[in-house]
Amino acid sequence: MKEKLNVYLAGGINKLSYEQAFGWRIKVTKELLKYGINCLNPIASKDFDKFNSGGKFTEGDKVCYWRDLFLVKQSDIVLMNLNNGQSTGTMIEKGWCDVLGKLVVVVSEEPIKHPFVYEKAIIFKTIDDAIEFIKELGNKNE
């Protein structure tokens, strides 16, 4: 029996619109589920209406940190969407990936210049290209 791949969906959340924070995650999840690939979404259980005026979820910073670290550890691949800007949390997750030996797939329309990212990630310009790559890996896992 094949083991399903788990893909953690990393990217900015705070101070983004609903579409910016959720839209790409919903698209990726729907597409990869068709191929039996699980998506671990750090905001799946969050209610967008629980944002405070500063653009942050009100669940507490410790909850975010430990939940996200747990999900990164559970993942086989971390898909990082940097098209809405680089967030501090996303870059911390990138560091966790390096320490834990996780495959990182980055989506960025802008050139990645920092060697900590471009030397230790597979980089695509579009979400669709990243999805296709991950689907291919899922097929090889059969």
Collapse the DSSP code of 11 into the 3-class scheme (helix H, G, I; strand E, B; otherwise coil) and give the result.
Answer: strand
pLDDT at residue 120, rounded to an integer: 92
pLDDT confidence band for 16 (50 / 70 / 90): confident
Domain ranges in the chain are 6-140
Collapse the DSSP code of 52 into the 3-class scheme (helix H, G, I; strand E, B; otherwise coil) and give the result.
Answer: coil
What is the tens place of the pLDDT at every residue in 23-34? 999 999 999 999
What is the tens place of the pLDDT at every residue in 45-79? 555 445 444 555 555 567 778 889 999 999 999 99
pLDDT at residue 2, rounded to an integer: 61
Q: What angle do CA 42, 45, 49 make, to 5 degrees?
A: 105
What is the tens place of the pLDDT at every residue in 88-141? 889 999 999 999 999 999 999 999 888 888 899 999 999 999 999 999 998 876
| β-pair type (77-81, 38-40) | unpaired
Dig out the tokens for 120 from the structure: 């230790």
Dig out the tokens for 51 from the structure: 């944002």
Q: 6-140, what's its fold? A: Rossmann fold (3.40.50)
State if pTM tops 0.95: no
**Do 9 and 28 meet the contact criterion of CB atoms below 8 Å apart?**
yes
Q: How many CB atoms lie within 10 A of CB 1?
A: 3
